[in-house]
Structures are given as structure tokens and as C-alpha cells.
């Protein structure tokens, strides 16, 4: 379980906090959608879920581990995978398979195990035949799938996604959403940040953010009837 | 930014990535040309100076070290698409060492000395870096090509003076424009 | 964009299959030998190079392509020696036979340095080169050279050069659509236009670097030791070749 308690975040040099007291629990296997206007703090919030940011006030626990404890950052990041908005800047390998291997290599797994995970992760996103391709030759949708494989290769329990379908065409978007639902069925919790209402009807829970706060939280039925 | 991995001692992951990105930009600089006469000026050395002036001495020198290393293991990132250890040991190898020591380190060190370096200070820092590049380049050239110093200067400095002067101006202009953007 | 990452030419020859560390060592050793070589060693090494080229099934055209970028510089060095070396006069005014000999020897040394490195990259995948480099740098770690981080940085460079070139094209097209003409105007005007290309390119690269760093940390990257998917294993033929190389270099250096 991920537990966020009274989370306040202020970026260095800013007077006004981006997050002003967030309380949130995400259970294992849950599909949580976070929506809200641009600048409401949703991206900042999910960066806290895998210790990329440390709270200015309050606490974030991932399976009981406090993100303030820097010695736990590695384990927290293994459990909570992070998929950023622009896939191009998340791919660091010269080839697709080397990129997918990057995470497991950071976990210091033995070579055979890395190879096995890379193959599995690429198969899981349907990119098995792209292993040797260079990233700059891939389409936007293909790059997005590679970044999902990147995270899957680390065997995460949770995946936080920041606008994973922005910049994709309708077909690419449908493919990614289907993939996310499939992974969720296999037990991986999804924390899906978006500003697109159509994408979140299948979520277990919807969280509406505004101006650094959670203003509404509930099942899609509850939230949409409240709007 | 309150990042656990960057608060420790030594180089941060951000610093590493910035250095690598400027090494990549230096390679890309070979593809940006100003067409003048027979030999177009490439913007490669512009990025050499920018790496020091924008990233500072340590990361600037690191970025040029990585750039040279990528070329030395044979990838075609040097001027005109050459690559390999041969380029380092060959006639132009001294300039590459100069990129690290002059463009990366010295220029960066000088720019760092002022909290808010002015136009003139940045320009002088770049020129100082360039002079060191020339010195190392000419020394190396005269040794490996077995040339007396005057001839080494005639071959290794004179043809590049105009192009380098233009690039100094551009480097200064770009540095003063973008310096505030990088927070390392 | 026709940019190719490296000059790798796929193949399965003995040269292709050698451990990248052995190949890197070979280029280093032979380059050092040839630096002060006399005519005898230059001929010997040329024969060796021709043999390797044949075994690796590379063509003369491949080799020429590697030398082309530096041709003007080589020509300059050759001519300087040809005309400015004192000695017996030749039919050409100012030129001497001594100058011809020195010019050919020196220029060929440089060509050789380029060629031996070119054969390395033509027969080794970039990713193998990086693995080889990382292993070769490991002994330097006590000196403060972090081999793992260096390998990651080199791979980021190779990853992003093609992307930055694509971006450069996009910026250029956008500006030409707005009427910028890159081939007209005086020098200052052209310089200004180049700045208008370079500034957005750097600005985007800075934002990119921020995101790349964050993405790497998000995937558990931390400086220091990591493991690798690609394993390097020295085979008996690797050891034999390495031993031969060391002996040859020893003989070459002995002649200095």
C-alpha cells in the first residue's frame, strides 16, 4: 500500500506550495485515476510516490517505507515504476533491448536474469521483434510501449503514469489503455494521471485535484454524478 | 530540488546527464555549418566553449572528455566524421586534448570566477580557452608531424582564426542568454 | 536523417567475433608501435593491416571512406614535408627526395592510425565497444575514474546524437517556413541565423537533460557499480591473438 499523509510540497525558491496537504491511500492492485487542470500538482504528486521528490511537509510511505529514508530509495523505485509524459526522454539505451535492460542493471541482477526479464517485458508490450531497433527510428506510440517495458522489467507493484497517452493517435491510445488494463488485471496497481475524462471510466477510483488539493475522490459513478 | 541522489558528495546524476548531453551537442555541432567560401565553418568548437561556459569547469571538462572518448572508441563524432584513436594520436589530437583542458576546463573555471559574468568577461574566458586549445594543438602537431613551430602555426592556427573569432562572439552571446537557465 | 551510429558493417568473421577488449588493445598497441616506426615497420604493419582487412571481409572502399574526412589535412602535412625538407633536389622545384620519403612515411603513419581504428569500429557493435571500454577502464577506478558512469554517459551520447539531429532539422524547417534563408546575407547575418538554430537546440537539450536525469533516477539509477546484460568472455582465440599482439609490439618497440 502507498500512503500519503498531509503532503505539502514547495519547490526551491517558490513561495506558494504546489501541493497543500494531500492525504491518499493506494491499495495493491487498484486502478486509480488522477485528474485535474494543468498546474494542479498531479505530476508533482506522483513524483513523490517513488521518492523522486521528498516532502516539504508530511510523509509518503510505500509498503511501509518512508520516502524520506534515502537508503530505501532504490527499493521504493523498484516497487513503484514511473512513466513520464515524454517517452523520448525516458529512453536512454542505444537499442530497445539495452534500454529495457537499464533498470534491471541498476538493480544489479545477474546477466541471465536481466536477459530473461528484457525478453519477457518486450513480449508483454508486443515489442519482441523491436529488440535491436534504435530508439530514434521508433514512432511515438512505439516509444511509449518501450517505456512501459522499461518499467515492467523491474517487476513493479505499482506503476505511476503521467499523461501516458498524450501525443498518441487514437489507435495508439487505445492500445496503451488496453495494455494498462491488462497489466492491472495481473495485479499491478496503476496510478494514472490524465486530463482526459474518457480515459478513466474504467478506473476503480477517481481523484480530482485542483490547486494542490484533492477536491473529490470516489468511484467513477460517484465522481461523475457529483460533477 | 530535495533529491536524495543529488544531495550526496561528488557528481550528481543530473550533472552526468548534462555533461553527456553537451558531449552529444558537440558532436551535433559538426553538422551545423555556415557556408563561406570553400571550407564552411562548422559549429563544433562553438559547443566546446559553450560546455565550459554554461556547465562550469568540472562538468564542462567532463563533457569534453566524454565527447573525445566517444570519438576515440571510433564513433564518427569528430570534425568531418572522423573517429578512432588515430585521431587522438594523429595531427589534430592536441586540439582534442585542448577541448577538455581549454574549452571545457579553463573557460569554465574563468566564467565561474564571477558570480554574474558580464559580456566581456565571458568573451575573455572563451578566448583564454581558445588560446590553450591552440597551444596544445600546435605543440602536438609540431611533435607528431615533425614540423617546426612556425610551420605548425601556419598549418594549425592561421586557417582557423576567422572562423574561431566568429564562434567566440556567438559563444559569448549564447552564454549570456542561456546561463540563467541551467541550475546544477 | 541519414546519420548512422558508428560505421559497423555486420559480419561473422574472426575479427568480428573477437572480444572487444582484445580489439581495443590491438589498436592501442599497434598505434603506439607505428608512432615512431621506420620504413621497415611501416611495411610490416601495412601487410598486417591488409591481412586483417581481408579476414574481416572489408573492402578498399570501406577503408577509403574512413580516411576521406582528413584527406586535406594529410595532404597539407605531406606537401609541407615534400617542399621544406633539405636534401638532394628532385625534378620538382623546391621538392627533395628526402622530403618525399619523409612526407610519405609520416602521412602513411597517420593514415594507418585512422585505418586501424576504423577497422575496429567497422567490426564491432557500438554497444560492444562500450562494454569493452567499460572493462578496460575498470583498473582506473582507484584513480577516481568511475568506469560505470563513464559507460552510461557514452551510451547517452550515442542515444541522443540522432535525436538531436532530428530536432535540429525540425528547428531549421520551422525557421525556413517563417522565411529564414540560411544561404543569403553577410557573415553577421548568417551567424545570427545560426544562433537562432543553436539557442533553441540548447534550450531543448537542457530541458531534455533534466527529464532524462529524472527518468534514470526513477528507474533506480545511482552512481557506482551495476551489472550488465551483455557479458564478455575471452575465448582461447582471444588469448592467442592478444599474445601475438604483445609479441609483435615488443619486436616493433625494440627496433625504435
Cβ neighbors of A92 (< 8 A, separation 6 or more) are A99, A102, C152, C155, C156, C159, C212, C215, C216
Q: Compare all CA atoms of chain B with the CA of A47 and give the residue at the minimum distance.
A: B3
Query: What is the tally of structural domains in chain B?
Result: 1
Distance CA A44, CA C157 (A): 28
Q: Is A153 contained in some domain?
A: yes
pLDDT at C177 (0 to 100): 82
Asked if A56's CB is within 8 angstroms of B4's CB, the reply is no
pLDDT at position C110: 83
Q: Mean pLDDT over all residues of chain C?
A: 85
Comparing B36 with A101, the larger pLDDT belongs to: A101
What's the pLDDT score for residue B3? 41
Strand pairing partners for A192?
A: A33, A161
Residues of chain C contacting residue A78, judged by C-beta atoms under 8 Å apart: 220
For residue B98, give the C-alpha cell: 585542448
In angstroms, the separation between the Cα of residue A67 and the nearest Cα of chain B is: 9
- Residue A52 touches partner B, C-beta closer than 8 Å: yes
DSSP secondary structure letter of residue A108:
T
Distance (Å) of CA B36 to CA A58, B33, B49, C138: 61, 9, 21, 45
B89, with CB counted inside 10 A (0-12, 13-18, 19+), is buried
- How far apart are alpha carbons C119 and A75 in whole angstroms? 43
Q: Is the pLDDT of residue A18 over 50?
A: yes
Q: Are strands A158-162 and A189-194 parallel, antiparallel or unpaired?
A: parallel
Beta-strand pair A205-210/A31-35: parallel
Closest residue of chain B to C216, computed from CA coordinates:
B13
Query: What is the predicted ipTM?
Result: 0.91
- ∠ CA B57-B61-B63, nearest 5°, is 120
When pLDDT is averaged across residues C19-36 and rounded to a whole number, the result is 86
User: Measured at the alpha carbon of residue C223, what is the angle toward residues C221 and C224, in degrees to the nearest 5?
Assistant: 115
Q: Which residues from A are below 8 Å from B3, CB to CB?
A: 52-54
Note the pLDDT tens digit of each residue in A168-218.
888 889 989 999 999 999 999 999 999 888 888 889 999 999 999 999 999
Question: Would B1 be classed as within a structural domain?
Answer: no
Task: Dump pLDDT digits (tens) for C140-177.
Answer: 888 777 889 999 999 999 999 999 999 999 998 888 88
* DSSP assignment letter at B34: E
Q: What does the pLDDT read at residue C256?
A: 64
Among A82, A44, A122, which Cα is nearest to C217's? A82
Cβ–Cβ gap B1/A51 under 8 Å: no
What is the per-residue burial (b if ≥16 Cβ within 10 Å, else e) of C116-127? Answer: bbbbbbbbbbbb
Chains that touch B (3 or more CB pairs under 8 A): A, C
Cβ atoms B50, B59 nearer than 8 A: no
Which residues in chain B land under pLDDT 50? Answer: 1-9
Of B17, B32, B146, the CB nearest to C198: B32
Rounded to a whole number, what is the distance in Å from the CA of A97 to chain C's nearest CA? 9
Residue C1 has pLDDT above 50, yes or no: no
Count CB-CB contacts under 10 A for residue B105.
Answer: 23
Whether the per-residue pLDDT at A226 is higher than 90: the answer is no
The whole-number pLDDT of residue C183 equals 66
B73/C152 touch (CB, cutoff 8 Å), yes or no: no
CB C198 within 8 Å of CB B46: yes
- Residue B25's nearest CA partner among C255, C208, A91 is C208
CB atoms B2 and A56 under 8 Å: yes
To test the contact with chain A by mutation, choose from C220, C224, C228 the residue with the greatest count of A C-beta atoms within 10 A, namely C220
A70/B1 touch (CB, cutoff 8 Å), yes or no: no
Q: How far apart are CA C47 and CA A97, in angstroms?
A: 39
User: What is the tens place of the pLDDT at every residue in C65-104?
Assistant: 878 777 877 888 888 888 877 777 767 777 788 888 888 8
User: CB–CB of C156 and A92 under 8 A?
Assistant: yes
3-state secondary structure of A190: strand
Neighbouring chains to A with at least 3 Cβ pairs closer than 8 Å: B, C
Q: What is the mean pLDDT of chain B?
A: 85
Residue C248 pLDDT > 80: yes
Residue-range definition of the domain harbouring residue B18: 13-177
pLDDT in tens, C188-213: 777 778 888 899 999 999 999 999 99
Q: Give phi and psi for B125, each to the nearest 5.
A: -60, -40
pLDDT at residue B183, as a whole number: 76
User: Given this model, what pLDDT does residue B7 score?
Assistant: 35
Structural domain range at position A126: 31-38+74-226
Q: What is the pLDDT of residues A172-184, one digit of tens each?
A: 899 899 999 999 9
pLDDT at A119: 96
- Average of pLDDT values for A144-167? 94
Among A79-83, A100-104, B82-86, B176-180, name the one with the lowest average pLDDT: B82-86
**Which CATH number belongs to the domain containing residue A182 in this structure?**
3.40.50.300
Is there a domain that residue A217 lies in? yes
Cell numbers of B23, please? 558531449
Please tell me the predicted confidence (pLDDT) of residue B130.
95
Beta-ladder partners of A193: A34, A162
| B17, B25, B173: residue with CB nearest C213 | B17
Q: For residue A2, is it within any domain?
A: no
The total number of structural domains in chain A stands at: 1
Q: Is the dihedral of CA C183, C185, C186, C188 positive or negative?
A: negative
Which chain A residue lies closest to B3 (C-alpha atoms)? A53
Is residue A43 one of the residues assigned to a domain?
no
Do A92 and C156 contact (CB within 8 A), yes or no?
yes
Closest by Cβ to C77, choosing from B43, B46, B145 = B145
Pick from A78, A89, A136: CB nearest C208: A89
Structural domain includes residue B158: yes
Does B154 reside within a domain? yes
Q: Which of A54, A71, A43, A61 is nearest to A12 (CA)?
A: A54
Task: Please judge whether C113 and B178 are an interchain contact, meaning their C-beta atoms are less than 8 angstroms apart.
Answer: no
Of B21, B27, B76, the CB nearest to C7: B76
* C227 part of contact set with chain A, CB < 8 Å: yes
Q: How far apart are CA B40 and CA B24, in angstroms?
A: 21
CATH number at residue B82: 1.10.1760.20
Q: Is residue A8 part of a domain?
A: no
B129 within a domain of the structure (yes/no): yes
Q: Please indicate if any CB of chain A lies within 8 Å of the CB of C222.
A: yes
A102 and C218 within 8 Å at the Cβ level: the answer is: no
C2 in contact with A at a CB cutoff of 8 Å? no
**What pLDDT sits at residue C182?**
65
Instruction: Kindly state whether residue A165 falls inside one of the protein's structural domains.
Output: yes
CB contact at 8 A, B7 and C195: no
Closest CA to A7 of A73, A15, A18: A18
Q: In chain A, what percentage of residues exceed pLDDT 90?
A: 80
Amino acid at each position: 500500500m502507498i500512503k500519503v499523509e498531509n503532503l505539502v510540497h514547495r519547490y526551491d525558491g517558490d513561495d506558494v506550495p504546489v501541493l497543500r496537504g494531500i492525504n491518499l491511500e493506494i491499495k495493491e492492485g487498484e486502478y486509480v485515476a488522477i485528474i485535474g487542470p494543468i498546474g494542479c500538482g498531479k505530476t508533482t504528486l506522483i513524483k513523490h510516490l517513488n521518492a523522486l521528490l521528498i516532502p516539504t511537509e508530511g510523509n509518503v510511505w510505500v509498503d511501509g517505507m518512508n520516502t524520506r529514508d534515502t537508503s530505501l530509495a532504490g527499493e521504493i523505485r523498484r516497487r513503484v515504476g514511473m512513466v513520464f509524459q515524454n517517452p523520448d526522454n525516458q529512453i536512454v539505451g542505444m537499442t530497445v533491448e539495452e534500454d529495457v535492460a537499464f533498470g534491471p542493471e541498476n538493480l544489479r541482477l545477474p546477466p541471465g536474469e536481466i536477459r530473461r526479464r528484457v525478453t519477457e517485458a518486450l513480449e508483454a508490450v508486443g515489442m519482441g521483434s523491436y529488440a535491436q531497433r534504435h530508439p530514434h527510428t521508433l514512432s511515438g506510440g512505439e516509444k511509449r510501449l518501450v517505456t512501459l517495458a522499461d518499467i515492467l522489467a523491474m517487476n513493479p507493484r505499482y506503476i505511476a503514469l503521467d499523461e501516458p497517452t498524450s501525443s498518441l493517435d487514437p489507435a495508439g491510445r487505445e492500445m496503451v489503455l488496453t495494455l494498462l488494463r491488462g497489466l492491472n488485471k495481473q495485479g499491478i496497481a496503476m496510478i494514472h494521471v490524465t486530463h482526459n475524462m474518457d480515459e478513466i471510466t474504467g478506473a476503480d477510483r477517481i481523484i480530482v485535484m485542483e490547486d494542490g488539493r484533492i477536491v473529490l475522490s470516489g468511484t467513477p459513478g460517484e465522481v461523475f454524478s457529483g460533477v | 530540488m530535495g533529491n536524495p541522489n543529488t544531495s550526496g558528495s561528488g557528481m550528481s546524476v543530473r550533472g552526468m546527464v548534462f555533461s553527456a548531453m553537451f558531449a552529444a551537442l558537440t558532436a551535433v555541432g559538426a553538422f551545423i555549418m555556415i557556408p563561406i567560401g570553400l571550407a564552411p565553418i562548422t559549429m563544433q568548437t562553438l559547443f566546446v566553449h559553450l560546455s565550459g561556459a554554461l556547465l562550469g569547469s568540472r562538468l564542462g571538462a567532463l563533457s569534453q572528455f566524454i565527447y573525445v572518448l566517444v570519438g576515440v572508441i571510433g564513433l564518427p563524432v569528430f570534425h568531418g566524421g572522423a573517429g578512432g584513436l588515430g585521431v587522438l594520436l594523429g595531427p589534430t589530437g592536441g586540439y582534442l586534448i585542448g577541448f577538455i583542458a581549454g574549452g571545457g576546463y579553463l573557460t569554465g573555471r574563468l566564467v565561474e570566477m564571477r558570480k554574474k559574468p558580464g559580456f566581456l568577461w565571458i568573451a575573455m574566458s572563451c578566448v583564454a580557452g581558445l588560446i590553450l586549445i591552440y597551444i596544445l594543438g600546435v605543440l602536438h602537431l609540431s611533435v607528431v608531424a615533425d614540423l617546426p613551430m612556425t610551420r605548425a602555426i601556419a598549418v594549425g592556427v592561421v586557417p582557423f582564426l576567422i572562423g574561431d573569432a566568429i564562434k567566440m562572439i556567438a559563444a559569448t552571446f549564447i552564454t549570456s542568454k542561456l546561463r540563467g537557465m541551467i541550475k546544477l | 536523417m541519414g546519420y548512422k551510429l558508428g560505421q559497423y558493417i555486420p559480419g561473422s568473421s574472426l575479427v568480428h567475433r573477437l572480444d572487444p577488449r582484445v580489439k581495443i588493445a590491438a589498436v592501442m598497441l599497434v598505434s603506439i608501435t607505428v608512432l615512431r616506426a621506420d620504413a621497415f615497420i611501416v611495411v610490416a604493419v601495412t601487410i598486417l593491416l591488409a591481412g586483417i582487412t581481408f579476414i574481416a571481409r572489408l573492402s578498399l572502399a570501406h577503408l577509403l571512406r574512413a580516411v576521406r574526412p582528413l584527406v586535406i589535412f594529410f595532404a597539407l602535412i605531406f606537401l609541407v614535408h615534400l617542399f621544406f625538407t633539405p636534401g638532394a633536389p628532385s625534378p620538382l622545384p623546391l621538392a627533395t627526395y628526402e622530403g618525399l620519403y619523409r612526407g610519405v612515411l609520416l602521412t602513411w603513419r597517420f593514415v594507418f592510425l585512422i585505418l586501424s581504428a576504423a577497422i575496429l569500429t567497422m567490426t564491432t557493435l557500438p554497444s560492444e565497444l562500450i562494454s569493452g571500454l567499460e572493462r578496460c577502464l575498470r583498473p582506473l577506478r582507484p584513480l577516481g575514474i568511475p568506469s560505470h558512469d563513464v559507460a552510461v554517459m557514452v551510451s547517452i551520447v550515442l542515444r541522443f546524437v540522432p535525436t538531436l539531429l532530428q530536432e535540429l532539422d525540425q528547428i531549421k524547417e520551422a525557421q525556413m517556413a517563417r522565411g529564414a534563408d540560411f544561404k543569403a546575407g553577410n557573415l553577421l547575418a548568417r551567424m545570427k541565423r545560426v544562433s537562432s538554430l543553436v539557442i533553441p537546440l540548447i534550450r531543448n537539450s537542457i530541458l531534455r537533460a533534466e527529464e532524462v536525469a529524472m527518468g534514470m533516477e526513477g528507474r533506480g539509477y545511482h552512481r557506482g557499480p551495476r551489472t550488465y546484460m551483455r557479458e564478455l568472455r575471452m575465448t582461447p582465440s582471444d588469448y592467442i591473438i592478444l599474445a601475438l599482439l604483445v609479441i609483435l609490439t615488443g619486436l616493433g618497440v625494440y627496433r625504435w
